[in-house]
Structure 1
Amino acid sequence: MATTLAHTLPAKPLGGGSQPPRPLQPRSLAPSHAALAAQPPHVPTQHLPPRPPSAFPSPSPSPAPTSAAAPTATTGVVGIASPQSSVPFPSTSRCSHLPQALETGTDQQLERFSLAVRWSLKLASEHHQAGKRRKLPAPKCSSCHLALRRAMLCLDCATPLCTTAEGAGHVHAHSTKHRHSLFWDLHSCSVWCAGCSDYVYHPSVEKLVALETEAFQAELKAGNEAGAIVKRKRVTPSAWKTSSLSTTAIENVLPRGLRNLGQTCYMSVVLQAFLSNPILRSFFLSDRHNRSLCERTQLGEKPCLLCEMDLLFSECCSSSASAFGPTNFLHTMWQSSTELSGYAQQDAHEFLISTLNLLHSSSPGSTNLHCTCIAHSTFAGQLRSEVRCGRCGNVTNSTDPFLDLSLDLRGGAKVGLPAGANTLADCLTRFTSPEQLPPKEYTCGTCGDTAHTASKQLSIQNLPPVLCIQLKRFEHVGGSHKVDTPIRYPLKLNMRRYMSTTLATASPGLASPGPDSAYEYELSSLVAHEGTLTNGHYTSICRGPDDFWVFDDDKVRRAPIAEVLNAKAYLLIYTKK
């Protein structure tokens, strides 16, 4: 996926660097055409580190234009070599691409020029801050993902590309494929024209560099004098104009549906819950598992579900609006889990647990003890079991891991709740209430008694970042049937009252409960089931950045809050705030 400049540029410049010239007032990111023509180009020189050798030739020593608009021979700009330097700029007389781009460029394109200049200045500033940790990550090529010491930025689409032999020079392939001619050399702060195969010069670019340099150095000076980081002036909505391109891109970013591949709605709803989860999105979209570099796949071992999940996120987070068919994901699940293979109807909860187990087994170096794979670090918590002897009062404690909590929808009367009380809080109260064990089911390790009954109480010792709750709507007691009892559940859930630190009576050594914020969750998605036990259909409702969305296989629509809270939920997935 191409990395856009808007995502890689730092939002706020940092202090430090060499002594700047006279301070100027902060200015907006993109200067207007009038500003480019009116501002003088002169600014004292700040030398950048020498350009490393690469596949790109050094600019040929042609004289700069002598028009009134061009800088004089003695003028030097940050990142721009003067005619006396070893890397002078050639004339633009043989290049028509750059002048045409500047004459016909939109405000958005000019802003991209401006942001590219500021990125170069920031990289140069950090290069001169000896002994300080680098705060701006090295650019990475969007094709080979190599961290680049010298990167080219496409001025048409803001894609960072490599020029080194190690990276195969993807700037050339990008130019040929997309017909993009102009690239910004972040290291030398100059324009490379792929159509002319040379660095090119233009007075307007010189002026733009001069304007951005003075603004950047003024901010550095103000930061040094104040001893703090200077915040860049925020661009207000009135300071820029939206284009049809930018507004269309925002409006078309809608969730992508999943095609039903033959009674696979049970898979679609679980995958949509994964896609809407912020922790999983961050993991896969930040390239924590790259399917192109996966050793397991390259060695031809068992299918890697992490690779299929990486593909799923890449496809469903793209700009495509059509439904996606996760055929590779389904095939990998069939190969890895025989109980889920075939086109028969399956249970969404079983598919969820099987998927998490396969994500665990696909993770390199995964172990069952203190596992740090993406499945366990996201969904795994710990349950505490406390068994009390009815004769001597001895208490036995044990802990067990869990990936989800399975809650009964009935039985409220046995713990003092009204029969049929069905809110999520009531179900959790039943789950963590003491229950009597049948005689002779427990033998006390202290007194050895087996005749007296004992009580058992469950509580949650460690909460996971993502809490998955199954509501037991399918019962198999005296025959199989579905429980259609409605249940009320909140958009925000506080789990403090169900913790071991709150419920424990014989364990004073447990840690203090802590603030309420440590136990607060928000509903991120739910899975609903319509129909009977043997013939039904799954849908899901997932939280987006601003709204909830209903996913019915390939059909996607917005969901009002009333519909979210009144669904016949089977799975509830809460994410810690």
Structure 2
Amino acid sequence: MIVPTRSSFSALSCLMGRLFSVYAGYEQQDAHEFLLNFMDKLHEDLNRAPHRKGPPVPLPALVDEAASLNVRINHFWCQHVDRHLSVISDLFEGLLVSSLTCLVCRKSSSSFEVFSCLSLPIPANKGSVCYLQDCLKLFLETESMSGEAAWHCPSCRQKRKAEKRMIIARLPKILVIQFNRFRCETAWQSKKLQTYVQFPISGFDINCFVDREQVETQPRPAYRLYAFLNHYGTLATGHYIAYCRAGHGGQWYMYDDASVTEVTLSESDKRNAYILFYTSVDMRHQFSSHP
């Protein structure tokens, strides 16, 4: 296994500091935000899409506004890959559909969101322990929109009670999951949820969370965990420790600042998970296939 040197991490830190002023100092920053910024810059540099610098080539318009959701998903995805095509998008990007339905006339409207990381809520009523599947169920749970949050239905032409739900339309080869552990209690105070979210090391099948009645997509092979990041402490004063697997199903290592230690994973190692990294492919073959 190749272990990055201290100088390589210093070079990365300096580079990110030049690209984003927030990383130029020594203040603690959020690992999730850093990851998204880092991946965004990598995608920008590696983007090989034919029309990445100009407007997307227009696709034939959908004649029927009531076209099936699958047709609209494919239409949107073709426009997206026309401008975004890199090793980052190939491996990490999935697609969410946000669907609103009027409870009076049943008119529905859908919007699409490309994601490279799923940010999942942690159930508040599960006590000190819950499961990753509980977080996914809560994320995909149908939400009632009423009162001030009512939807202005374009068919009824007025605010109506509505239902809102998220649908997973495409699953990525590499699935990154972040737990929303930090909640704002007031404008000046945040709270960290200490709930232990239990998550599988292998055999994580997320296909059951894809609504097959709404979307047609190829099932993704079961995911295998290859890394996760723990957060200890508070939002203001905390510490990160990473656990990474060497190769496909190999030995686990703990990365604690400059210290790298071979470990055997225990339940206590997983109690403070903040970001999970799953893969559904053998990365040795996956990376060798890219130019």
Offset from partner CA, 1:200-245 (integer Å, 9 cap, x none): xxxxxxxxxxxxxxxxxxxxxxxxxxxxxxxxxxxxxxxxxxxxxx
Residue 403 of structure 1 aligns to which amino acid in structure 2? Answer: S
C-alpha change, 1:337 and 1:394, in structure 2 (3 Å) is: same
* Alignment map for 1:444-483 (pairs within 5 Å): 444-450=153-159, 452-478=160-186, 479-483=189-193
The aligned counterpart of 1:170 is none
Matched, 1:548 2:252: yes
2:13–2:23 Cα contact (<8 Å) kept = no
Amino acid aligned to 2:11: N
- Who wins on radius of gyration, i.e. which is larger? 1
CA distance in 1 between partners of 2:218 and 2:180 (Å): 31
Deviation string for 1:160-208 (max 9, x for gaps)? Answer: xxxxxxxxxxxxxxxxxxxxxxxxxxxxxxxxxxxxxxxxxxxxxxxxx
**SS of alignment partner, residue 361 of structure 1:** helix
Cα distance, 1:484 vs. partner? 1.4
Alpha-carbon shift at residue 470 of structure 1 (Å): 0.6
Give unmatched runs, 5+ long, in structure 1: 1-253, 260-323, 413-417, 505-509
1:497 alignment partner in structure 2: 208
Indicate conservation of the 8 Å contact 1:411/1:420, yes or no: no
1:435–1:456: 8 Å Cα contact kept in structure 2?
A: yes
Aligned ranges 1:212-227 → 2 under 5 Å: none
- Name the counterpart of 2:287: none
Shift of the 335–549 alpha-carbon distance from structure 1 to 2, 3 Å rule, reads: same
Counterpart of 2:85 (choices 364, 372, 388) is 372
* Structure 1 residue identity aligned to 2:178: Q
Provide the C-alpha distance between the structure 2 equivalents of 1:543 and 1:564, rounded to a whole number of angstroms.
17
- What's the TM-score, normalizing by structure 2? 0.77
Larger strand percent: 2
Match of 1:568 in 2: 272
- 1:439 Cα deviation (Å)? 2.5
Q: Which residue of 2 aligns with 1:386?
A: 99
Please tell me the root mean square deviation across aligned C-alpha atoms, in Å.
2.2
Paired residue type of 2:205: N
Partner of 2:69: none
**Higher RCO structure (Cα 8 Å, ≥6 apart):** 2
2:135 is aligned with 1:438: no
TM value normalised by structure 1: 0.40
Residue 404 to residue 446, structure 1, CA distance change in 2 (3 Å): same
Contact 1:525 1:573 in 2 (8 A): yes
Counterpart of 1:557 in structure 2 is: 261
Q: Secondary structure at the match of 2:169?
A: strand
User: 1:553 offset after TM fit, Å?
Assistant: 2.0
2:239 equivalent to 1:537? yes
Q: CA deviation at 1:419?
A: 6.2
Residue equivalent to 1:346: 29
| Per-residue deviation, residues 133-163 of structure 1 (Å, max 9, x unmatched) | xxxxxxxxxxxxxxxxxxxxxxxxxxxxxxx
Equivalence map 1:157-172=2 (5 Å)? none
Distance 2:104 2:278 in 1: 40
Report the more deviating stretch, 478-487 or 361-370: 361-370
User: How many residues end up aligned between the 2 structures?
Assistant: 245
Does residue 1:356 correspond to 2:26, yes or no?
no
1:562 deviates by 1.7
Structure 2, unpaired ranges of 5+: 57-79, 282-291
> Sequence identity of aligned pairs in percent?
28
Checking the alignment, whether the CA contact within 8 Å between 2:243 and 2:254 is kept in structure 1 is yes
How far did residue 258 of structure 1 move? 5.0
Moved over 4 A (4+): 418-421
Q: Residues 431 and 458 of structure 1 are in contact (CA less than 8 Å); yes or no, is this contact kept in structure 2?
A: yes
In the TM superposition, 1:13-412 aligns within 5 A as: 254-256=1-3, 258-259=5-6, 324-363=7-46, 365=48, 367=52, 369-370=80-81, 371-412=84-125
C-alpha displacement at 1:411, in angstroms? 3.7
